[in-house]
Structure formats: structure tokens, C-alpha cells
A and B are shown apart, each in its own frame.
Chain A
Amino acid sequence: MSVKVQNLVKVYEVQRAVDNLSFEARKGEVLGFLGPNGAGKTTTMKIITGYLPQSDGSASVCGFDVTKEAMEARARIGYLPENNPLYKDMYVREYLMFTAGVHKIAKPRQRVEEMIERTGLNSHHFKHIGELSKGYRQRVGLAQAMLHDPEVLILDEPTSGLDPNQIVDIRKLIKELGKEKTVILSTHILAEVEAVCDRAVIINKGKLVADAPIEVLKQQFTGRTVVTAEFGQKTTADALKKIPHVAAVQHLNGNKWQLSAAADAEDIRPLIFNFAIANQLTLLELHKEVFSVEEVFQQLTRA
């Protein structure tokens, strides 16, 4: 397991910023770390990188505990902090050479050239970092994170503040990286998770609310038609399940039921109406809801 977080707790004064959080990230996957602002994403990432100490629990990177074997763990992490801090008065190449020196990389010059090439900084490497546009600064941030060829990349909102073209470029780069490395990427942009991540960990108020592959999350919550139906008389879940295309049935209250079906299936409302007639039930209410990723997110994180 490349990154393992176990029962992690971080307490600030009275607030529990991270509350008993556990998750894992494997090699060769991009893990989307989702949550509303202030959910504890950044705090968790800062604990994994060793910037902040946890109050309880543990985190490890490639088997090295981030507090007890800090140096080994840190050597295997590439980190892009929130807001991408950089030395604005340094040249791009100078900064990367400095980073290479700190990491004691063998053949630094060659590696720096390679990273400049890979992040598309070729035409900008002679500039001061302060003169670069935000998109190019983000590339510099990624270049410094990838420079020492770490096994784990921790990227805190890597696309925030970029224009749509830049976002596409950066996402492509991250997706490419995810093939050979472990990438943990925090974001509150849901489209981003769909575009680059293989798996998502959703947290809210420091607590884990979902941890599943994107496909599963989507199937579970999105692209699903949910119909609420209220009948005048009693009926049973088993009877409702016999309606064609109905995938799941949930009892809400009284004679109110929630039925769901795959979105690409036939509209189930006429079928429910027919069911009511066949079973001599009065249909009081019939209402269709469609869940989007946003709604899933809202449902999970609104408390």
C-alpha cells in the first residue's frame, strides 16, 4: 500500500478537523480527495507530508511512518501545496536545480531538463518564476513535485485558478502520472474527479463519508432515476420490486416509497401507474428525481 491513513485525528483547539479518518491509496491509481471547503482535506494532506503532526492515529507512505521515519517517508513524496508557493525571484531552472540539490538527485542537470521538457516549460525556463502566468507556475509546482521521481504525489487543488485549457493540460499530465505512481489529488470540483480519478474518498467535517471507485459511485448515485410514489393503501416492497426495470425499493414513511431504476432504462412512471391499477391501489403522488454528481456530493456532505 503506497499511502495508508489509519484512524487519523487532528484537533485544533476545540475543533476536530480530521476525525478518525482511514483510507488507502494504491500504486497506479489517482485518488480523488473530495470534500467541501473546510472538510479537512488540506489538513490530512499536511499530515501525510509531515508538515503537521497528527493528534492521534497514523499515516504511512510506502510503509514508512510519516512521524517516526519522517526522512524516508518525505523522500518518497512529491508535494504540491495549496496555492503552489514558489520563490518568485528565482529562475525556473535555478529553482529546479535547487530542489534537485536538496533531494541530492544524481545527474541533476539531466533530470531538470527532462522535467522541463515533460511539463512543457521549454519556452519559459529562462524566466523568473514571478513573471510566469498562473498556468506555467502550476507546471513549475508540478515539476518540483515530480523532480525526485517520488512514488507518491500529493497535489492540493492542482487546477485551482487555471483557465479551461490549462486545466485540461494539467489533468492530462496528472492522469499520465497516475499510471506509474500513486497520486492523491484534493479538489472540490466534481468534474475533475470524473475526468482524472480512479477512486474517490469523500470527507465531510473530517469524517469519511464515501470511499469507492468512481464507476461504483456513479452507478450508486448518479445516472439513476429515482421516483417517489405515494399510494392510498398498503403495499409491500416485494410487490413493488416486481415492476419491470425497478432496481431498488426503499420505504420512506407511511405508504410512501422510493423506487429507483437505471437512467437509461424506460421511464418507470407509467409502469408504476399500471401497477397501481392492477393492484387496486390509489396513486396519490408520483414524482421523478434525477441525481447528478453534484447532488450526490451535496447529499453526502450536507449535514
Chain B
Amino acid sequence: MLSIYLKEINAFFSSLIGYMVIGIFLVLMGLVMWVFPDYSVLDGNYATMDTLFAMAPLVFMFLIPAVTMRTFAEENQSGTIELLVTRPISDWQIVLGKFLGSFTLVVFALLPTVLYYVSVYKLGAPEGNLDSGGILGSYIGLLFLASAFVAIGVFASSLSTNQIVAFVLATFLSFFVYLAFDFLSRLPIFYGKTDDLVQSFGIQYHYDSVSRGLLDTRDLIYFISITLLFLAATVLSLNRRKW
């Protein structure tokens, strides 16, 4: 598993994709946090990082599929998957290696935003006047959200031999799991009756809950389950040649 993990990370940084993803993420986040007047902290006059945590999931929705699209689709396309699955390693090791590789790249993209926290901390009046607990919670929420998106992306990639198809499918699935349940809950058949239950199927419900700085085990279990669900689906999809 370690070899596959290291190979994935190497692949990101020996090609442009790793630098591009990190660069684009940071540029977008920088613009939203500090430049765009509608969202910027400097114009908002409040020492918060809410804009970052509101925008990051939307950016991840497009960037993470770009990271994960090649994981399996490229191997399916070139036929190297045949060699990989006939090596003496289990399918779970392959899937976990690839998942952790992509997840690590996302963590690398997220790490420099800690600088934003330091800046906002310094800018507060008085200095340090911000909700650090809430921000830590939001970071944890964002990491869980990223792990769910990466798992979705890896799964989508395993379904196809075409990276574009994998990208589009992953974006759609991520959008659906992140936001669609929230929208669906407003349908008349759910609204006022089971809308809370329907919302709780979606990521946003749990992400918002964790972002308040409240680490509820139900939310953690939700994120871990959704990640594992898509990883298990990936293992199944790897084995579909056997059906």
C-alpha cells in the first residue's frame, strides 16, 4: 500500500497536476479571502474565516475530481490495471493507496491557508479576537468533506477508462452528495415532515454542524461512513471484470 501511495504522490508532483491544483486552490481562496470586495475579510470588518469555509467546498467540488480522475481511469485505459491487480496485494490496499495519495495532495493544498488564520488572528482588534475553536472545527469538517469527495472521485475514476468522464461524474456525484439532499428536502413531500432526515443524508448538514466547532460523533460517523461506502464501491468496481 505504501508503494502505491508514494507512487501516486510522485505522479502528482512529477507532472503539473499537483502544482496546478495547489496553485489554483490558493489563488482562488486568496482572492475570495482578501481581494473580492463582496467576500473579503478586509471589507467585512469581522475577524472570521467564514468565507474560506463557505467557498472551499465549492472549489473542492471541481478541484478534487481533477485530482482523482486519473487514479484508476488512466490504469484502465493503458491496461496497467491488469498488472496491478495481479500483484500479491489486496484490492483494498490498491484502493486505499490511491485514496490516501489524492487525499494527501488536498491536505497539501489546504495547509498554506493556515497563514490566513495567522493573518486574521493578527488583524483582529484586539489581536486574537476570533473563534479559534470554530475554525479548528471547520478545518476538521473540511478535511472530512475532502476525504468524502476524494473517495467519490476515486470511485468515479474506477468506473471509466476516460478521465473526462471520471471528472464529470465525480463532480456530479460530489455536488449531489454535498448539496442536493438539502434542496430535495424542500420538496413538498418532505417539507415540514421529514426534511431534517433528508437533509441529514447530505454532506452540507454535517459540515455545517462540525463548522460550528461542535464535534459530534454522529457527524464523524457520517463522514467516515460515506468515505468507506465509496471506497467499498471502488473495490466492487475493480472486481466487476469477474462478474
Contacts and interface: CB of A to CB of B under 8 A. Distances in A.
A89 B15 CA distance: 9
Contact of B241 (A51, A71, A75, A83): A51
A49 interface: yes
A74 B87 contact: yes
B80 A74 contact: no
Interface string B1-38: 01110110011001100000000000000000000000
B86 A50 contact: yes
A51 B82 contact: yes
Contacts of A101: 2-3, 6
Nearest to A48: B86
A282 to B, nearest CB: 64
Contact of A86 (B14, B80, B88, B90): B80
Contact of B242 (A53, A72, A90): A53
B85 A51 contact: yes
B115 interface: no
A62 to B, nearest CB: 13
B19 to A, nearest CB: 15
A102 B82 contact: no
A79 B87 CA distance: 9
B83 to A, nearest CB: 6
Contact of A103 (B7, B81, B88, B90): B88
A74 B3 contact: no
Contact of A88 (B10, B78, B85): B78
A281 B202 CA distance: 96
Contacts of B241: 51-52
A94 interface: yes
A144 interface: yes
A81 B7 contact: no
Contact of B86 (A74, A86, A90): A74
A214 to B, nearest CB: 29
Contacts, number: 56
A87 B88 contact: no
A85 interface: yes
B114 interface: no
B82 A81 contact: yes
B78 A87 contact: yes
Contact of B80 (A46, A87, A103): A87
Contacts of A99: 87
A85 B86 contact: no
Interface string B66-93: 0000000000001111110111111000
A160 B122 CA distance: 67
A77 interface: yes
A83 B83 CA distance: 12
A98 interface: yes
Contacts of B83: 79, 81, 85, 144
A88 B78 CA distance: 9
A57 B70 CA distance: 37
Contacts of B14: 89
A103 B87 CA distance: 7
A286 to B, nearest CB: 54
B169 to A, nearest CB: 23
Contacts of B85: 51
Nearest to B242: A53
Contact of B3 (A75, A88, A98): A98
Nearest to B84: A102
Interface in A54-94: 71-72, 74-75, 77, 79, 81, 83, 85-90, 94
Interface in B80-121: 80-83, 85-90
B216 to A, nearest CB: 39
A201 B49 CA distance: 70
Nearest to A70: B88
Interface in A179-222: none
Interface string B207-243: 0000000000000000000000000000000000110
Contacts of A75: 88
Given A85-B78, A85-B80, A102-B4, A79 B86 contact: yes
A79 to B, nearest CB: 6
A46 B242 CA distance: 11
Interface of B: 2-4, 6-7, 10-11, 14-15, 78-83, 85-90, 241-242
Q: Which 4 pairs between the two chains have the least Cβ-Cβ distance?
A: A101-B3, A85-B79, A75-B88, A74-B88
12 contacts: A49-B86, A53-B242, A81-B83, A85-B78, A85-B79, A85-B80, A99-B87, A101-B2, A101-B3, A101-B6, A102-B89, A103-B87
